[in-house]
Amino acid sequence: MSEQNPVFIPGPTNIPDRLRAAMNMQTRDHRAPDFVETLAPVLEDTKRVFGTSEGQIITFPASGTGGWEAAICNTLSPGDRVLVGRYGMFSHRWIDLCQRHGLQVDIIDCPWGMGAPADQFEQALSADKSHQIKAVLVTHNETATGVVSDIAAVRAAMDAASHPAMLFADCVSSLASMPFEMDAWGVDIAVSGSQKGFMLATGMAILGVSPKAIAAMETAQLPRTFFDFRDMLTSNKAGGYPYTPPLQLIYGLRESLSMLFEEGLENVYARHFRLAEGVRRAVDAWGMRLVAKDRSLYSNTVSAIYVPDGFDSNQLTDQAFNAYGVSFGVGLGEMNGKAFRIGHLGSLTDVMTLSGLATIEMAMADLDYSVELGSGVAAAQGYFRQHRSAFVQTAA
């Protein structure tokens, strides 16, 4: 019966029945007029979630990693320099991808639990007098550490350095759950996916691409075929795809957007803050601490939590799954064995979140943690009671 339990991993997220039904469709002709009539409005409406009116939405049958690859292959050439801060597992993986593509990667190493180093970016860009750095890459929401970075501050640093580099942002675990303002923040490519805030199955990379990034295609020399922006934009303009599209996900995205807009994006963001704050109150009640170093860095989609000295976080997540059939995020990279993660994004309510807190408390008790059963749940309950949602019908 564990399939009836929600998951508390930071993605893929729980899929609402309404979206499961939307994706449970028979094969259709993707060159027929009814697909043409579906695709264009979906791409246009997705711009609202990215916070762009100037950019284009481009989708690929892939995960967010495919979106990363598409971003660099369409805009950069072998040997180009990029500037990246490494402060978690996913910023590290983006670095690895760039290096494998023959790019020169200038890395600013930061302690895990910190965010994008805007001040150090400014110093590096100011020192780059010949403008060899072609792009700055930032992970908006570092899923491994539960840290959100200030993208507007990074853009301000780039502007202060008067540097023409493009700004790429990984917003896979933040988009459609936390505010993202692509145009206002000066983001040139924003990379997301179908399986987190959009609450769909994994399998579609979703990118917002600025006019500047589209223009960069003209000089970019990295090879691309499957991930070619030009092929996709040309086919999309005619209402189609350059190859077989992920039909079920596109129709699912149409319904996901309807759900998000019905709830209202501001209400979606407020719900995620409320759920995250309830989890944070529980963490305080347990006497534990978050990996994120400062409140300004706290993510509203995932909390990474250190376990006490002498305990193994992997044993805790295993106990929660084996004894109670509930999944929590394991510690990744430097956090392996030291921290576990509670994903609180997508299709979740106050009540569902309380069930996750109760479950992890039981697993802690099973493993002789010094945690009083009900303490974290009570702290979250108190917060939820004082901050009830004004919008009762949530995205669940």
- Note the pLDDT tens digit of each residue in 106-156: 999 999 999 999 999 999 999 999 999 999 999 999 999 999 999 999 999
335 and 235 together in one domain: no
If residue 139 lies in a helix (H) or strand (E), which one and from where to where? strand 133-139
Is residue 46 within 8 Å of 206, Cβ to Cβ? yes
Which residues face 342 on adjacent strands?
303
Domain count, the chain: 2
Count of residues making up the chain: 396
Phi, psi dihedral angles at 123 (to 5 degrees): -65, -45
66 within a domain of the structure (yes/no) = yes
7 and 132 together in one domain: no
118 and 164 together in one domain: yes
Q: How far apart are the first and last CA of the chain?
A: 20
> How confident is the model at residue 390, as a pLDDT?
57
Last residue within a domain, chosen from 204, 226, 261: 261
42 and 94 together in one domain: yes
> How confident is the model at residue 29, as a pLDDT?
87
222 and 316 together in one domain: no
Neighbour count for residue 2 (Cβ, 10 Å): 10
Last residue within a domain, chosen from 201, 231, 261: 261
Please list the alpha-helical segments (H only) found in the chain: 17-23, 33-50, 64-73, 89-100, 118-127, 151-160, 211-216, 229-237, 247-263, 265-286, 313-324, 350-366, 375-386
Q: Record the pTM.
A: 0.95
Least confident of 3-7, 14-18, 34-38, 179-183: 34-38
298 and 367 together in one domain: yes
The percentage of the chain sitting over the pLDDT mark of 90, rounded to a whole number, equals: 92
232 within a domain of the structure (yes/no) = yes
Which candidate, 306, 302, 281, places its Cα nearest to that of 377? Answer: 281
Which pLDDT band, with edges at 50, 70 and 90, does 18 fall under? Answer: very high
